[in-house]
Structure 1
Amino acid sequence: MPETTDQPAAPASGANIRLENLTKTYPGSPAPAVEDVSMEIKAGETVIFVGPSGCGKSTTLKMINRLIEPTSGRIRIGDEDVTDIDPVKLRRKVGYAIQASGLFPHMTVAQNIALVPKMIGWPKSRTRSRVEEMLDLVGLDPGEFHDRYPRQLSGGQQQRVGVARALAADPPVLLMDEPFGAVDPITRDHLQDELIRLQHELHKTICFVTHDFDEAIKLGDRIAVLRERSHIAQFDTPEAILTNPADDFVSGFVGAGAALKRLNLTRVRDVGVVDFPTAGIDDPLESIFDRLRAGAQNELLLLDRNRRPYKWLRRSDLARAKETLARAGTLVTDTVTRDATLRDALEAVLTDNAGRVAVTGRRGEYIGVVDMETLMNNVHELLEADRLEAVEHQHELQEQRAHLTQREQEGLDEGGGSRA
């Protein structure tokens, strides 16, 4: 029934999801695609389904909003058993984002985002306001993107709009089926950071399918490692899976370099982001020169008119910048956000080969710099923690062996006594 007020409701936070003995068998198939899956996902939690191709992870996800109907089992969202309610109404209450965004090409960005709010009867003024709010939330300028069509957007921008559309009606649950799989690696990193930032603000319940274990570590509060037919091999935190994989199958997903993979668990916002000398592209040349000559640093960061990192300028560039900055300096090739992982930051620093990377906000605006020394200190701390953990584990094994040897000896003594 359409709403009669323009007053927005309080934002919806996440809802518990329970899968109870969920099974899907396709007609003519000798074995189930998904078999007897039971799982509880906490409200506000990001849970990642990861597993080999064809293991049933996407099928499991699609059964939650009944894009695929389960053969048997129950699905509960919050206190409601959704297995028997109208699936169309259910899908309007559950956000859904897929690979390559799935935007309607004949609709503008605003029309795509407004789709579900209009369907469920939101007033026009509330819908219009929500579209602008969602564009701003995913880091797209409403004035610039409102009337564009999907073909006029980059792949990363399309995915942002896809997420905005999925969240537009403020659902408690967001399902994401390999949403970042079709974009280039740099854009993918930025979209992952954006999702982490959004989740900090919104606290939705997110179920996310990926085949990329590094992505699972970066995004997940918990990870469900799935075998064939979505049988759960391990369902635990990224830290627990990295440090204590349940079996060889899970170890195969973790792969080599577990200590370095833990760099995906620490964010740039958790380490030292420092200020750095900056200048604006429209500042007088003389003032830029004075700042370079007088500063303790050998360089400064030149910002564009939107305060986004543009060029690194060194003192050695002064000779080439007597009248213009056009040929002087080195273009900024990569930045990271505060929600980027230490691994992202380390890769950016090594790629730039200058010992630091600029940290940016939602619209790409400059926030600060994180440097190689800070990153390496954190890497050394992780490696040292792993070394101490390995030593402790070794001591525990030695104690267990000694205890077993003692018990075996006691058994021999008792046996010898009886024989005597």
Structure 2
Amino acid sequence: MPETPVATSGAAAGSGAASASGAASASGAAIRLENLTKQYAGNPYPSVDNVTMEIRAGETVVFVGPSGGGKTTLLKMINRLIEPTSGRIRIDGEDVTDMDPVKLRRKIGYAIQSSGLFPHMTVAQNIALVPKMVGWSKSRVQDRVEEMLDLVGLDPGQFRGRYPRQLSGGQQQRVGVARALAADPPVLLMDEPFGAVDPITRDHLQDELIRLQHELHKTIVFVTHDFDEAIKLGDRIAVLRDRSHIAQFDTPEAILTNPADDFVSGFVGAGAALKRLNLTRVRDVEIADFPTVTVDDPLQDIFDKLRDSQGNELLLLDRHRRPYKWLRRGDLSRAKGSLARAGTLVHDTVTRDATLRDALEAVLIDNGGRVAVTGRRGEYTGVVDMATLMNSVQEMLEADRLEAAEHRSAGGLPEEGLEHPFVRDAGGPEGPA
């Protein structure tokens, strides 16, 4: 069987980091790349040229740059799927450059595009692979499989026995992440893991990763060509030129408001003010309550609740308390004793970890002026409406205008012209450019 690069830490293998075994989960590890270079034979230029970088323990760092620029090569040198020509790799201070690469990969989780699951193995067998390799007991492995499926929002009873071909693309990616985390590695490498799924599924997978990181605090290094995805996921973003030369390595806020040069500005692109919405989560704004009923409520009770409510609408929840339909008074008058034909199906929801941009898009598509917010199992937790979103946008833009004005007064920007690309998008005292 070929060696899989998903893996665990030595601490996990020895003392047990899984909560199923009663121990605390392993936290992230610091990574230092020192003058890392990859030169392929016959190529006059290195694919990765003398890269030095510090990645802090527990943070998510995103590599973004042009195709063919060396992002994936740089990522794969961290777990030595690609061996560096020169330079050093240190993880939590330990030089792993000369370590047995198989043992190293068992300390580093790895998730790729299209999940990389073994098709002849069930979901449970895929997730259990590395814990078995490092010698976990059968009962502990079984507990970990259950825990991992629950962690990524898949019902263990429903999914553990399925094969990858029986899963949707989004489900496969969730299992891929579960497998990468199964043996509790401190470091997780992700190479465009959501690039092969549809945009809606991709948004949900991004939200799921954000939620997982809030719980697990791993060190995540993530490769993408999508700058919006980088803004949404990254604590810091490394914008890489050809040969992985670092054009700018900073927080999303700093890159949006103060790109280092024209190359970085090209990645930021137009609409920086809108991209700013990717930096604020739904959990950071007011999530309002909304009158709800369930499919099991008597029809007369639904009539009475809608008549007594201040608004003109109810949210109908299914038996699992997931948003199902929006009901208006006129819908109920046509129900004729049944809810089957009444109301409008809920087409989109957002989680607390979704960005304000996700929420705004959902509100605009739905045209009802609101979007339902759900928990990890899809259960209803509240709504966010257009007024809340617009107030948040205005507050962010005002804060950015004040920051830009302070920067200009300190000599950071010219007084005339508002040449900074973010200020142009946000609109300064002379209006948008």
- Match 1:278 to one of 292, 297, 310: 292
Larger Rg: 1
Q: Evaluate the alpha carbon distance shift between residue 387 and residue 7 of structure 1 in structure 2; reply closer, same or farther with a 3 A threshold.
A: closer
In the alignment, residue 135 of structure 1 is paired with which amino acid? L
Query: Residue in 2 aligned with 1:188?
Result: 202
Q: Shift of the alpha carbon at 1:381?
A: 1.1
Contact 1:337/1:359 (8 A) holds in 2 = yes
Q: Distance in 2 between matches of 1:13 and 1:3?
A: 15
Q: Shift of the alpha carbon at 1:9?
A: 4.0
Query: Residue in 2 aligned with 1:148?
Result: 162
Q: Evaluate the alpha carbon distance shift between residue 363 and residue 399 of structure 1 in structure 2; reply closer, same or farther with a 3 A threshold.
A: closer
Number of equivalences: 402
Q: Shift of the alpha carbon at 1:319?
A: 1.6
Query: Residue in 2 aligned with 1:221?
Result: 235
1:126 aligns with 2:140: yes
1:246 aligns with 2:246: no
Contact 2:408/2:414 (8 A) holds in 1 = no
Query: Residue in 2 aligned with 1:96?
Result: 110
**Unmatched runs of 5 consecutive residues or more in structure 1:** 403-420
In the alignment, residue 310 of structure 1 is paired with which amino acid? Y
**Unmatched runs of 5 consecutive residues or more in structure 2:** 1-9, 417-433
Q: Evaluate the alpha carbon distance shift between residue 152 and residue 308 of structure 1 in structure 2; reply closer, same or farther with a 3 A threshold.
A: same
Aligned with 2:300: secondary structure? helix
In the alignment, residue 33 of structure 1 is paired with which amino acid? S
- Match 2:75 to one of 40, 48, 61: 61
In the alignment, residue 342 of structure 1 is paired with which amino acid? L
Query: Residue in 1 aligned with 2:312?
Result: 298
Q: Shift of the alpha carbon at 1:48?
A: 0.2
Q: Distance in 1 between matches of 2:382 and 2:207?
A: 17
- Match 1:21 to one of 35, 41, 56: 35
Aligned with 1:333: secondary structure? coil
Q: Distance in 1 between matches of 2:322 and 2:413?
A: 57
Contact 1:335/1:357 (8 A) holds in 2 = yes
Aligned with 1:327: secondary structure? coil
1:81 aligns with 2:81: no
Contact 1:135/1:142 (8 A) holds in 2 = yes
Contact 1:233/1:246 (8 A) holds in 2 = yes
In the alignment, residue 347 of structure 1 is paired with which amino acid? E
Contact 1:355/1:371 (8 A) holds in 2 = yes
TM-score normalized with structure 1 length:
0.93
Q: Shift of the alpha carbon at 1:258?
A: 1.2
Q: Distance in 1 between matches of 2:256 and 2:361?
A: 21
Contact 1:103/1:158 (8 A) holds in 2 = yes
Q: Distance in 2 between matches of 1:283 and 1:394?
A: 60
Q: Distance in 2 between matches of 1:95 and 1:122?
A: 17
Q: Shift of the alpha carbon at 1:4?
A: 9.7
> Could you report, residue by residue, the CA deviation over 1:241-283 in whole angstroms, capped at 9, with x for unpaired residues?
0000000000000111111111000000000001111111111
Q: Shift of the alpha carbon at 1:388?
A: 2.5
Aligned with 2:81: secondary structure? coil
Q: Shift of the alpha carbon at 1:80?
A: 1.2
1:34 aligns with 2:42: no
> Could you report, residue by residue, the CA deviation over 1:178-234 in whole angstroms, capped at 9, with x for unpaired residues?
000000001100000000000000000000000000000000000000000000000
Query: Residue in 1 aligned with 2:247?
Result: 233
Query: Residue in 1 aligned with 2:214?
Result: 200
Contact 2:194/2:205 (8 A) holds in 1 = yes
Q: Distance in 2 between matches of 1:372 and 1:401?
A: 35
1:381 aligns with 2:359: no
Aligned with 2:340: secondary structure? coil
Q: Distance in 2 between matches of 1:88 and 1:31?
A: 29
Q: Evaluate the alpha carbon distance shift between residue 142 and residue 207 of structure 1 in structure 2; reply closer, same or farther with a 3 A threshold.
A: same
Contact 2:170/2:197 (8 A) holds in 1 = yes
Q: Evaluate the alpha carbon distance shift between residue 33 and residue 268 of structure 1 in structure 2; reply closer, same or farther with a 3 A threshold.
A: same
- Match 1:257 to one of 271, 283, 287: 271
Q: Distance in 2 between matches of 1:401 and 1:209?
A: 38
> Could you report, residue by residue, the CA deviation over 1:34-66 in whole angstroms, capped at 9, with x for unpaired residues?
000000000001000000000000000000000
Q: Distance in 1 between matches of 2:118 and 2:61?
A: 28
> Could you report, residue by residue, the CA deviation over 1:3-41 in whole angstroms, capped at 9, with x for unpaired residues?
699945431000000000000011111110000000000
Query: Residue in 2 aligned with 1:109?
Result: 123
1:360 aligns with 2:366: no
Q: Distance in 2 between matches of 1:248 and 1:289?
A: 60
Query: Residue in 2 aligned with 1:172?
Result: 186
> Could you report, residue by residue, the CA deviation over 1:308-330 in whole angstroms, capped at 9, with x for unpaired residues?
10000001111211211111100
**In terms of mean alpha carbon deviation, does 170-179 or 298-307 score higher?**
298-307
Aligned with 1:363: secondary structure? coil
Aligned with 1:148: secondary structure? coil
Sequence identity percentage? 82
Aligned with 1:224: secondary structure? strand
Q: Distance in 1 between matches of 2:199 and 2:15?
A: 45
Q: Evaluate the alpha carbon distance shift between residue 35 and residue 4 of structure 1 in structure 2; reply closer, same or farther with a 3 A threshold.
A: closer
Q: Evaluate the alpha carbon distance shift between residue 399 and residue 232 of structure 1 in structure 2; reply closer, same or farther with a 3 A threshold.
A: closer
Query: Residue in 1 aligned with 2:26?
Result: 12
Q: Shift of the alpha carbon at 1:155?
A: 0.6
Q: Shift of the alpha carbon at 1:105?
A: 0.8
**In terms of mean alpha carbon deviation, does 351-360 or 250-259 score higher?**
250-259
In the alignment, residue 159 of structure 1 is paired with which amino acid? Q
Root-mean-square deviation over aligned CA pairs: 1.8
In the alignment, residue 350 of structure 1 is paired with which amino acid? L
Q: Evaluate the alpha carbon distance shift between residue 325 and residue 106 of structure 1 in structure 2; reply closer, same or farther with a 3 A threshold.
A: same
Contact 1:3/1:123 (8 A) holds in 2 = no
Query: Residue in 1 aligned with 2:328?
Result: 314
Query: Residue in 2 aligned with 1:350?
Result: 364
> Could you report, residue by residue, the CA deviation over 1:349-370 in whole angstroms, capped at 9, with x for unpaired residues?
0000000000001111111100
In the alignment, residue 248 of structure 1 is paired with which amino acid? D
> Could you report, residue by residue, the CA deviation over 1:154-180 in whole angstroms, capped at 9, with x for unpaired residues?
111110000000000000000000000
**In terms of mean alpha carbon deviation, does 79-88 or 60-69 score higher?**
79-88
Query: Residue in 1 aligned with 2:4?
Result: none
Contact 2:408/2:415 (8 A) holds in 1 = no
Aligned with 2:82: secondary structure? coil
